[in-house]
Amino acid sequence: MFKNVIVRRPCRAMVDGITTADLGKPDYELALRQHDSYIEALKECGVEVTVLEANEEFPDSCFVEDVALCTKHCVIVTRPGALSRRKEVLQEDMQTALKGFFKNIEYIKEPGTIEAGDIMMVGDHFYIGLSERTNVDGANQMISILEKYGLSGSVVPLKEVLHLKTGLSYIENNNLLVAGEFVLSPIFKDFHKIVINEDDSYSANCIWVNDIVLVPKGYPTTKKAIESFGYKVIEVDTSEYRKIDGGLSCLSLRF
């Protein structure tokens, strides 16, 4: 169960965030309203939400998930693969927030790069995607730190998606949303797979928070499939974040 969540308000510079989506520039005012709704949905799940102020120096800084991996024993501060994001992890308010919640703080060091959007937690095991943003050295450092605290990790080579959780979401109870290259992957053969079709692949990025699943708005087939397993579902519109390669999980640290 999660007790706390950290989010960061989107900055005006988000309209110039990193993107491969080719969906146009985000509407900043709409993005703010969507962020408000996201925070309210999280609160409905019974967590305390810490809201960090927008940081105009970093267009992508609302995607706080990438800068740290929060576990039950420690927080591991990452070293983002995107150069424009590398100093996000050193921002004073983020460091202060993490230190307020975690006694044990670890850091990924050069030449390792890793973004936590490439990491999926399943109990005490962490699947780590090898991507353009996460290299082998970063993954190996992460696994070594996890093992130091009695946790474990393994790597998943990526072929098509930006981040591991672009096409995967673990929603507990051995249920796994899968899309694209992960549908037939033998790595995930022991999970009960809820297959997301290609047209709805964006909705493979959902988040489980205390037996409630947050689902991007506009994907009724995905919503119905998740509800069929007895989960309460809350839809959250993330259209403006999709334009800069972001989804539901990217917008928060949950622990």
- Give catalytic residue positions: 163, 250
Q: Quick count: other Cβ atoms within 10 Å of Cβ 188?
A: 19
Nearest CA to 165 among 237, 65, 26, 58? 65
Task: Take residue 4 and report the two structure tokens written for it.
Answer: 């706390």
CA atoms within 13 A on the CB side of 178: 18
- Residues 6 or more apart in contact with residue 71 via CB below 8 angstroms: 121, 126, 146, 149, 151, 255
Under 8 Å between Cβ of 238 and 216: yes
